[in-house]
Amino acid sequence: MLNVAVFPNIDKENAPMVLKRIVDFYHDKDVKILMPMDGANFFDYGKYGVEDIENHPIDMALSIGGDGTLLGICRRLYERDIPVCGINIGTFGFLADIELPEIESKLEKIMQGQYYIEERMLVSGFVKSGEDDERFLGHAINDVVVTKSGAARMLHLGLMVDGCRVMDYKADGLIVSTATGSTAYSLSAGGPLINPKIKVLLLTPICPHTFNARPMVIDENDEVKINVAAFHQDIIVTFDGQETFKIKPGDTVIVRKAPLPAKIVKFDDKNYYQTIRTKLLYNA
Amino acid sequence: MLNVAVFPNIDKENAPMVLKRIVDFYHDKDVKILMPMDGANFFDYGKYGVEDIENHPIDMALSIGGDGTLLGICRRLYERDIPVCGINIGTFGFLADIELPEIESKLEKIMQGQYYIEERMLVSGFVKSGEDDERFLGHAINDVVVTKSGAARMLHLGLMVDGCRVMDYKADGLIVSTATGSTAYSLSAGGPLINPKIKVLLLTPICPHTFNARPMVIDENDEVKINVAAFHQDIIVTFDGQETFKIKPGDTVIVRKAPLPAKIVKFDDKNYYQTIRTKLLYNA
Amino acid sequence: MLNVAVFPNIDKENAPMVLKRIVDFYHDKDVKILMPMDGANFFDYGKYGVEDIENHPIDMALSIGGDGTLLGICRRLYERDIPVCGINIGTFGFLADIELPEIESKLEKIMQGQYYIEERMLVSGFVKSGEDDERFLGHAINDVVVTKSGAARMLHLGLMVDGCRVMDYKADGLIVSTATGSTAYSLSAGGPLINPKIKVLLLTPICPHTFNARPMVIDENDEVKINVAAFHQDIIVTFDGQETFKIKPGDTVIVRKAPLPAKIVKFDDKNYYQTIRTKLLYNA
Amino acid sequence: MLNVAVFPNIDKENAPMVLKRIVDFYHDKDVKILMPMDGANFFDYGKYGVEDIENHPIDMALSIGGDGTLLGICRRLYERDIPVCGINIGTFGFLADIELPEIESKLEKIMQGQYYIEERMLVSGFVKSGEDDERFLGHAINDVVVTKSGAARMLHLGLMVDGCRVMDYKADGLIVSTATGSTAYSLSAGGPLINPKIKVLLLTPICPHTFNARPMVIDENDEVKINVAAFHQDIIVTFDGQETFKIKPGDTVIVRKAPLPAKIVKFDDKNYYQTIRTKLLYNA
């Protein structure tokens, strides 16, 4: 029996329809459906709801939403080594590989093992205050962003890479992005596109007032430390644009490659460059 | 008798020393010093303190601080038609024209009328919710910025200029800048430098995800309307990076040239391009 | 009798068809058609051909081509104070106001005086070698560009504005653009869009290696001097991308507002922002 | 006996002094000095001159000049598997690791084997006309650049990566850069900095008129094809800014990772980020 965990985004208009098609598809198959309790109740599928879904046996996770939904599930299931498959009802869908018309045919392919796993690197973010030990904050597939909140003034940031002070920024913030995240916030801030099979980190300043600030592509194993000058208030660290933590003046944010990658289900070897062309460059 | 209002920035380390030099300079002259009550008390000059300083007779205002301090005073004295003179103890000082070594000599020049007034355009910002009348928010010498607060997601903004829908942005925000403000936040966001004697507005998107977004220089009399899509929360409008207002989803921010300019005291015809070279380009 | 000079672009596929429609339209009217001799012969309208057309009496010039064709005619007729009207068979057509379906109706409007003249500032370019007097090179409506030719190395350029040394560039070149030219080469080099009714010059560096180089908007009356370091070879100055001159190592290129504007025929008060939206931003 | 080939840049003022110090250093050691015949004669060291130096037995090559000189030697000795060591008398010197004060001490280290080899990827460039076979043009350590010559108009370029059409550019050209070349021309055109130990290619458009053009980081094994539209004249392909070839309208330029890397002599593990900070970011 296959245990399939289904995670619908409750904000998406099409989610109930997609959810019904999934339930209908699996009803005569040797598949056990699980859903997070709140989502299950929200969509009147209480019988599939379980508490603490991340601790149940799961063979495959289905994301119903956009790439954002899928990112959240990957972070939630981190360390569980579970493949995540995205049904795209968002705008872009670089990661979510199933489009609406093909839900049943692709679910059938999953039943028959006709898919492959694409590993995407995650990064781990930590914060260190003074002489305290560093404290783990979270994981990200796209990016860890250090930025000011609201109306606060430009930050003074000191960047160390691989133990070496590289650059001092006066800026709204700094993005530490994976190659996967190069099509997300970093792109808006002027960063390059990076083929996600390349194992790197990308550092992109946000609105730097410093003229010599440039996006920088570094080795995936380089440790990144971002020190925030001690006189700032209202500094936040954000993971994939979804989880946010306040940090203190003078704190240092540390970002490293995470030990484990995310596992994204893909169906045919859709060329990355084809996706970039059709979903990003000529569809923006 | 000359009424001189002195506005010291209480956060600047050098402010007490500058304040003392000003008081010493004026003590044997036919000058009445006024200070805002809170600043006067803070610096132990309670005898000069007055409430509601903006309603007293003032012939000249002295700003002790950086350009930010001076901007705040100009907004505070708006409509009073009072020249403002800046003593620069900040980093840059494009507007504040007196440097520390020359305080007494320049104050002497003011006594003798050896200065001129440089007018700088201000803009007025308004907000309009649904069918309500537009509501005045504030003035700015540098910029009016519509942006998201904190960890909120990218805004969807619709820009109208002179009654015509020009551009739809997915972006962190949009800066409506004067030429004076072209060296401020707009520069960080990729905007051009503009000689402040040119009568224009500058529209600079902040981290646009939309590829075709570009800084745009428009006529000073063009009305700018920025509509924020109705599904956003945590949208703020900021004036000169100092005054902040929350606005509601679906609101429209309107920016127009203000009826009156600020009047900045200048001493000799320091060339704008010289200032740009020495204070900005080769000193960043 | 109206003297209409017709300038067809011989490289455009649709030019013969447009030319025929113009000739047909005017054949029963009190209009004398003139064409440059070479164009007249090329299109088998030898009877309309005249030598030195710029010295004949002309009441109105018709450009058949894109904006490039129209720019060339404006430069050719400079100082003649003749309105130029563009029939757009190019890609963009910011200046050329007549589209193919409306040729006859718009020519009729011209007959009846139902049009207006939009003046566009030109710039004049000069070169100065050592102690020689400056030498006039040409006029431009869009831009004067100082750049290296072919495989030559990055130029070292010194920029003076209004008598003040502003900036030293290591770059591929520098664009001195009018507001009209802000949608042309300057846009590719990262310059802002500028409403052409604003009276300014725009300085945009081409691929600067110098970090602090930024587009700069200056006053229309500011004189621009660009000094090319003495060790360069193969430096060229180009007017509107059409006329090219070689200059010598160490030469200085001088650009000033031209004494007279171009006069472009426009039909209804098409909003600039509407044109930007439909022809540039959402059609690129 | 060690065979050391010495390549002085004849345009550098300090070259004779450096050359003399090298000759002096080696005169009592078991080292045979070789020089290209023309350079040897130019500097009055005819006795060291050999014809076709690239065919002689060489254990180590010394470059006297800037990074440009070193790039040229690497291309000249390509396939000979010879380490190249740079004595920096240029401006930057990212690759040339010996500074003037340390010539003798570093040459001594070379005698004692106290150095290591840093491999830098090269790319090979080819051109293909119609149905002809592709033709090899050259190698590059920094970049292969497809661009227009002189006053020619904007190119229309079609980019294929890994067999997939990614992007169509209207632009002045396109840079295919290695990570090593990310501090060279690509940086001027807006490309990111890339740590040279990362195995990638970087595609950076030059002055694109197309809004969605962005720098793109691709896999080192991806083949890049750049098709130039058939109506262009004066198109050139340049290798490391030094070797230039004209290509024909409609030709396709193909760039691939070269089979062999360059071998650069380095002395201590100077941190890349330290070099970026001191030589580029705070010294530009």
* pLDDT tens for each residue of C123-139: 999 999 988 899 999 99
Q: Among partner residues D149, D206, D211, which is closest to C284 by beta-carbon distance?
A: D211
Which of C219, C223, C270, C263 is closest to C121 using CA atoms? C263
How do residues B6-55 score in pLDDT, each as one tens digit? Answer: 999 988 888 999 999 999 999 999 999 999 999 999 999 999 999 999 89
Looking at the structure, do residues B141 and B160 belong to the same domain, yes or no?
yes
D55 CB near a chain A CB, below 8 Å?
A: no
Instruction: Say how many Å lie between the first and final Cα of chain D, rounded.
Output: 42
> What span, in angstroms and rounded, lies between the C-alpha atoms of C237 and C157?
13
Q: Which two tokens stand for residue A214?
A: 């440039």
Which CATH number fits the domain that encloses residue C91?
3.40.50.10330
Are the beta carbons of C212 and B161 separated by less than 8 Å?
no
- The CA-based angle B146-B148-B150, given to 5 degrees, is 140
Instruction: Say how many Å lie between the first and final Cα of chain A, rounded.
Output: 42
3-class SS at B280? helix
| pLDDT at position C269 | 60
How do residues A167-218 score in pLDDT, each as one tens digit? Answer: 999 999 999 999 999 999 999 999 999 999 999 999 999 999 988 899 999 9
Percentages of chain B per state (helix, strand, coil), in multiples of 5: 25, 40, 40
The verdict on whether C219 is a catalytic residue reads no
> What span, in angstroms and rounded, lies between the C-alpha atoms of A64 and D27?
76
pLDDT band at residue C142, thresholds of 50, 70 and 90? Answer: very high
Cβ-Cβ contacts under 8 Å, C211 against chain A: 211-212, 214
Q: DSSP secondary structure string, B206-217?
A: ES-SSTT---EE
Which of D106, D111, D141 is closest to D261 using CA atoms? D141
Q: Among partner residues D153, D171, D238, which is closest to C241 by beta-carbon distance?
A: D153
Q: What is the mean pLDDT of residues C174-202?
A: 96
Compute φ and ψ for C53, nearest 5 degrees: -55, -30
Q: Among partner residues A151, A171, A189, which is closest to B236 by beta-carbon distance?
A: A151
Kindly name the residue from D24, D28, D38, D67 that is annotated as catalytic. Answer: D67
Please say whether the dihedral angle defined by the alpha carbons of residues C86, C87, C90 and C93, taken in this order, is positive or negative.
positive
- The CA-based angle D107-D110-D113, given to 5 degrees, is 155
Are the beta carbons of D151 and C244 separated by less than 8 Å?
yes
Q: Please count the helices (runs of H) and the strands (runs of E) in chain B.
A: 6, 20
Q: Among partner residues C194, C212, C274, which is closest to B217 by beta-carbon distance?
A: C194
Looking at the structure, do residues C104 and C138 belong to the same domain, yes or no?
no
Looking at the structure, do residues C86 and C203 belong to the same domain, yes or no?
no
C191 CB near a chain B CB, below 8 Å?
A: yes
How do residues B226-251 score in pLDDT, each as one tens digit? Answer: 999 988 788 999 999 999 999 999 99
Which CATH number fits the domain that encloses residue C135?
2.60.200.30
Which residue of chain D has the CA closest to C154? D185
| Lowest-pLDDT range of B272-281, C45-54, C190-199, D200-209 | B272-281
> What span, in angstroms and rounded, lies between the C-alpha atoms of B35 and B52?
10
How do residues A69-125 score in pLDDT, each as one tens digit? Answer: 999 999 999 888 899 999 998 777 788 889 899 999 999 999 999 999 999 999 999
The half-sphere exposure of B199 on its side-chain side, counting CA atoms within 13 A, is 10
Looking at the structure, do residues D239 and D138 belong to the same domain, yes or no?
yes
How do residues B132-157 score in pLDDT, each as one tens digit? Answer: 899 999 999 999 999 988 776 789 99
Q: What is the mean pLDDT of residues A31-46?
A: 93
Are the beta carbons of D244 and C284 separated by less than 8 Å?
no
**pLDDT at C69 > cutoff 60:** yes
The one-character DSSP state at D53 is: G
> What span, in angstroms and rounded, lies between the C-alpha atoms of A284 and B212?
9
Contacts of B159 (CB under 8 A, 6+ apart): B165, B166, B167, B168, B169, B174, B203, B224, B225, B226, B227
Neighbours of chain B (3+ CB pairs under 8 A): A, C, D
> What span, in angstroms and rounded, lies between the C-alpha atoms of B73 and B262?
10
- Tell me how far CA of residue A229 lies from CA of A132, A167, A170, B13, B65, in angstroms: 17, 13, 10, 18, 21
Which of B51, B89, B54 is closest to B69 using CA atoms? B89
The half-sphere exposure of A155 on its side-chain side, counting CA atoms within 13 A, is 34
CB C69 within 8 A of CB C7: yes
CB C43 within 8 A of CB C12: no
| pLDDT at position C91 | 72
The half-sphere exposure of C202 on its side-chain side, counting CA atoms within 13 A, is 33
Looking at the structure, do residues D146 and D22 belong to the same domain, yes or no?
no
D212 CB near a chain B CB, below 8 Å?
A: yes
Are the beta carbons of D215 and A192 separated by less than 8 Å?
yes
pLDDT band at residue B211, thresholds of 50, 70 and 90? Answer: confident
| pLDDT at position A281 | 81
Q: What is the mean pLDDT of residues C44-51?
A: 93
> What span, in angstroms and rounded, lies between the C-alpha atoms of D6 and C25?
76
**pLDDT at A47 > cutoff 60:** yes
C282 CB near a chain A CB, below 8 Å?
A: no
How do residues D219-229 score in pLDDT, each as one tens digit? Answer: 999 999 999 99
| pLDDT at position A269 | 59
How do residues D27-52 score in pLDDT, each as one tens digit? Answer: 999 999 999 999 999 999 999 999 99
B172 annotated as belonging to a binding site for a ligand: yes
3-class SS at C232? coil
The interaxial angle of helices A103-111 and A15-26, nearest 10 deg, is: 40
> What span, in angstroms and rounded, lies between the C-alpha atoms of D120 and D112?
23
Kindly name the residue from A67, A97, A240, A251 that is annotated as catalytic. Answer: A67
Q: Which two tokens stand for residue A46?
A: 């209480």
Average pLDDT, chain B: 92
Looking at the structure, do residues B251 and B130 belong to the same domain, yes or no?
yes
Cβ-Cβ contacts under 8 Å, A212 against chain C: 211-212
**pLDDT at C105 > cutoff 80:** yes
| pLDDT at position A120 | 95
**pLDDT at B267 > cutoff 90:** no
| pLDDT at position A284 | 44
Looking at the structure, do residues B228 and B269 belong to the same domain, yes or no?
no
Residue B11 burial class via C-beta count within 10 angstroms: exposed 0-12, middle 13-18, buried 19 and up: exposed
CB A65 within 8 A of CB A90: yes
Please say whether the dihedral angle defined by the alpha carbons of residues D240, D245, D250 and D253, taken in this order, is positive or negative.
negative
How do residues D187-224 score in pLDDT, each as one tens digit? Answer: 999 999 999 999 999 999 999 998 889 999 999 999 99
A119 CB near a chain D CB, below 8 Å?
A: no
| pLDDT at position B143 | 97
Looking at the structure, do residues B110 and B235 belong to the same domain, yes or no?
no
Looking at the structure, do residues C265 and C141 belong to the same domain, yes or no?
no
CB C75 within 8 A of CB C52: no
**Taking the CB of residue C126, how many other CB atoms lie within 10 A of it?**
18
- Report how many domains make up chain C: 2
Region at C240 (left for phi over 0; alpha for psi -120 to 50; beta for the rest): left
Cβ-Cβ contacts under 8 Å, A165 against chain D: 277
> What span, in angstroms and rounded, lies between the C-alpha atoms of C154 and C160?
19
C229 annotated as belonging to a binding site for a ligand: no
Provide the residue type at D72 as one letter: G
**pLDDT at B192 > cutoff 50:** yes
Q: What's the alpha-carbon Rg for chain D, to the nearest Å?
A: 20
Q: Hey, which bits of D24-172 come out as E strands? A: 31-36, 49-50, 60-65, 84-88, 116-120, 123-128, 135-140, 143-148, 155-161, 164-171
Cβ-Cβ contacts under 8 Å, A162 against chain D: 271, 273
Which of D110, D196, D210 is closest to D154 using CA atoms? D210
Are the beta carbons of A197 and D214 separated by less than 8 Å?
no
Compute φ and ψ for C97, nearest 5 degrees: -100, -15
pLDDT band at residue B283, thresholds of 50, 70 and 90? Answer: low
Q: DSSP secondary structure string, D193-251?
A: EE-TTS-EEEEEEES-SSTT---EEEETT--EEEEEPTT--SEEEEETTTEEEEE-TT-
Diameter over CA atoms, chain C: 62
A151 CB near a chain D CB, below 8 Å?
A: no
Domain assignment of residue C7, given as a range: 2-120+261-281
| pLDDT at position D284 | 44
Looking at the structure, do residues D32 and D137 belong to the same domain, yes or no?
no
**pLDDT at D269 > cutoff 70:** no
Residues in chain C: 284
Q: Which two tokens stand for residue B12?
A: 């600047």
Looking at the structure, do residues B17 and B142 belong to the same domain, yes or no?
no
pLDDT band at residue B269, thresholds of 50, 70 and 90? Answer: low
Q: Among partner residues A207, A211, A244, which is closest to B151 by beta-carbon distance?
A: A244
Percent of chain C with pLDDT over 70: 98
Give strand pairing partners of D98: D87
| pLDDT at position B93 | 76
CB C198 within 8 A of CB C173: no
Contacts of C84 (CB under 8 A, 6+ apart): C60, C61, C62, C63, C70, C73, C74, C77, C262, C263, C264, C265
Position with higher pLDDT, D24 vs B92: D24
Predicted ipTM of the assembly: 0.93
| pLDDT at position C223 | 98
Are the beta carbons of B271 and C164 separated by less than 8 Å?
yes
B274 CB near a chain D CB, below 8 Å?
A: no
Are the beta carbons of B188 and A211 separated by less than 8 Å?
no
How do residues A237-277 score in pLDDT, each as one tens digit? Answer: 999 999 999 999 999 999 999 999 999 999 875 678 988 88
Which of D150, D59, A20 is closest to C236 using CA atoms? D150
> What span, in angstroms and rounded, lies between the C-alpha atoms of A109 and A112?
5
C184 annotated as belonging to a binding site for a ligand: yes
Position with higher pLDDT, C231 vs C66: C66
> What span, in angstroms and rounded, lies between the C-alpha atoms of D89 and D69?
10
Looking at the structure, do residues A77 and A130 belong to the same domain, yes or no?
no
D224 CB near a chain A CB, below 8 Å?
A: no
Mutation target among C166, C202, C275, C279 for the B interface, most CBs of B within 10 A: C166
| Lowest-pLDDT range of A268-272, B212-216, C160-164 | A268-272
